[in-house]
A = this chain, B = another copy of it.
Amino acid sequence: MKIELKKSCGKAMYIQLFEAIVDEICANNLKSGDMLPSRRALAKELKIAQTTVDNAYKMLQDTGYVESIPRQGFVVSFKTNGYSQDIPWETHHPEGFVFSPNGIDFSQINRGQYAKIAKEILYNDSINLFSYVEKGGEFVLRSAISKYLYSFRDIKCSPWQIILGAGAEYLLTAISVLFDDDTKYIMENPTEQHFYKILASYHRKIVTLPLNSGAFDVDELYKSKGDILFIDSSGRFPRGCPLTEDEMQKILYWASGAPNRYIIENGWEAELNDAKKTLYSMDTNNKVIYLGSFSRTLSPALKASYVVLPDELLTLWKKKHVFYYSLLSTLEQHILAEFINKGHYVKHCKKIKKIYKERKDFLREALLKKFGDTIKIPENTGSTYLIVEPEFDVEIIKTMSRANGLKVFSINSYIQGSENNGFVDNKLILGIGELNRNQLAKSVEIMGL
């Protein structure tokens, strides 16, 4: 431990010592299980009174950084305190390689560009960073998104139809407030579980369409008797294929058939897929809510997402969400607006899409070379993943791979609904976002199949 205490900095010595030790823990120089020096030894080393050390150690104990073990001393215990080990909630960074279907490559963001824009905003006093905020978000960002959507996604909307949020999941919760409690949400199955679980946690009624890994079956939509279809039109995750124009038209026709029918078009990774059309742009009946996000195209750390509302629902939103606020920091809103307006966002999307495509092609070839006829890899335009159909049981492959330090995922984990427990779709979904070419080669090498 490197600890320096200052006599005349205005802070009591024991607080300085407490903070110094917390800093060592934060910097990972002290790890869970490490013993702190004995109180006497530390007092001697730092030439301070032992009561100072006593007080600091008591604070550490009170705030859960260390535990006192009788006759042994103080041990750093922060991994267990206030945190039940049985629920793995905090993010764990697993050892080895992960074929994460949601993984993306953050290192491709041009941090210099981002920092430069941020600096200009921070030192531009005409931009007010701290005052009360627009509920739907700062106009500058809503306008930037509206221009972007017009030019690159064929979505025509005014900036006032765009409501900024923090996280697509949160926005989905906020959208659900617009509709009656009896409203039935319709989801494909398998589906991205975040969205399913978020709606379920707010006790929304959800019906899933029958398990399906291919074309969209519009008949099932009618049979579902549901009201609001939530659909990832560009990738139909985890299928990796967009809705066809014909399917889109049929879905829009379904929506126009009753006043309480709507479509929530999830465009969370549309920029990474190849879809040209959107349900929103094809709709003529104000039936589509478009949900967009920068979490997968840029970074989830920005928390930037938005919803585009048709006029009627915009009015309803304002009535229901009197105290809604965009929840996105003003600084981040201005940075992102500049990033889009300067054209950096479009360039970034093109760049990562190209990188992901190269990785998918590389992985496909490497897998086929190693496993030959024992696997099938259907064509798909999935954003950051390949679907693999092996001859062998995917659960065995998962277990064997994990023993070699490789984590692989199967489609099974995206199947929702207790009635489908035990159903097995024997396919792997291998994400390439977190693995570069070398890591992909190594992963295929150690993959147990």
Q: Which residues of A contact B (CB under 8 A)?
A: 15, 18-19, 22, 25-26, 59, 62-65, 78, 81-84, 87, 89-91, 106, 109, 111, 114-115, 118-119, 122-123, 125, 128-136, 139-140, 143, 146-147, 150-151, 156-161, 166-167, 169-170, 173, 177, 181, 193-194, 197-198, 201-203, 298-303, 311, 314-315, 318-323, 325, 327-332, 341
B133 touches A166 (CB 8 A): no
Q: Output the nearest chain B residue to A194 by Cβ-Cβ distance.
A: B323
Partner of A167, one of B22, B143, B298, B325: B325
A84 touches B201 (CB 8 A): no
On chain B, the residues within 8 Å of A181 by CB distance are: 203
19 contacts between A and B (CB under 8 A): A18-B147, A22-B147, A25-B143, A59-B150, A62-B150, A64-B158, A78-B160, A81-B160, A82-B160, A82-B161, A89-B322, A130-B298, A169-B323, A173-B173, A193-B323, A201-B321, A202-B202, A327-B327, A329-B329
Q: How many Å from the CB of A54 to the closest CB on chain B?
A: 16
Q: Output the nearest chain B residue to A151 by Cβ-Cβ distance.
A: B15
A301 touches B198 (CB 8 A): no
On chain B, the residues within 8 Å of A84 by CB distance are: 314-315, 318
A299→B325 CA distance, assembly (Å) = 14
Q: How many Å from the CB of A205 to the closest CB on chain B?
A: 13
In addition to A63-B156, A130-B298, A166-B327, 14 A-B residue pairs with Cβ atoms within 8 Å of each other are A15-B151, A22-B143, A81-B160, A82-B314, A83-B158, A89-B135, A89-B136, A89-B322, A106-B131, A111-B125, A130-B299, A194-B323, A198-B323, A201-B321
A160→B331 CA distance, assembly (Å) = 27
A236→B381 CA distance, assembly (Å) = 56
On chain B, the residues within 8 Å of A139 by CB distance are: 26
Partner of A64, one of B65, B135, B159, B194: B159
Closest 10 CB pairs of A and B: A64-B158, A130-B299, A301-B330, A89-B318, A115-B122, A166-B327, A82-B160, A106-B130, A82-B158, A62-B156
A327 touches B203 (CB 8 A): no
Q: How many Å from the CB of A439 to the closest CB on chain B?
A: 16
A339→B2 CA distance, assembly (Å) = 23
A90 touches B136 (CB 8 A): yes
B321 touches A166 (CB 8 A): no
B130 touches A78 (CB 8 A): no
A322 touches B151 (CB 8 A): no
B328 touches A329 (CB 8 A): yes
Partner of A319, one of B64, B87, B311: B87
A84→B328 CA distance, assembly (Å) = 24
A320→B201 CA distance, assembly (Å) = 7
On chain B, the residues within 8 Å of A87 by CB distance are: 315, 318-319
Given A181-B203, A321-B201, A328-B329, A91–B301 Cβ distance below 8 Å? no
Q: Output the nearest chain B residue to A301 by Cβ-Cβ distance.
A: B330
A134 touches B329 (CB 8 A): no
Partner of A90, one of B22, B114, B119, B135: B135
Which of A59, A84, A132 has the most CB atoms of chain B within a 10 A radius of its CB? A132
A158 touches B81 (CB 8 A): yes
Partner of A197, one of B156, B322, B330: B322
Given A122-B115, A161-B64, A329-B329, A311–B147 Cβ distance below 8 Å? no
A42→B156 CA distance, assembly (Å) = 24
A130→B118 CA distance, assembly (Å) = 14
B160 touches A83 (CB 8 A): yes
B109 touches A130 (CB 8 A): yes
A134 touches B22 (CB 8 A): no
B63 touches A158 (CB 8 A): yes
Partner of A303, one of B146, B147, B328: B328
On chain B, the residues within 8 Å of A151 by CB distance are: 15
A122 touches B118 (CB 8 A): yes
On chain B, the residues within 8 Å of A169 by CB distance are: 323, 325
On chain B, the residues within 8 Å of A298 by CB distance are: 130
Q: Output the nearest chain B residue to A87 by Cβ-Cβ distance.
A: B318
Given A82-B158, A111-B129, A158-B65, A329–B314 Cβ distance below 8 Å? no
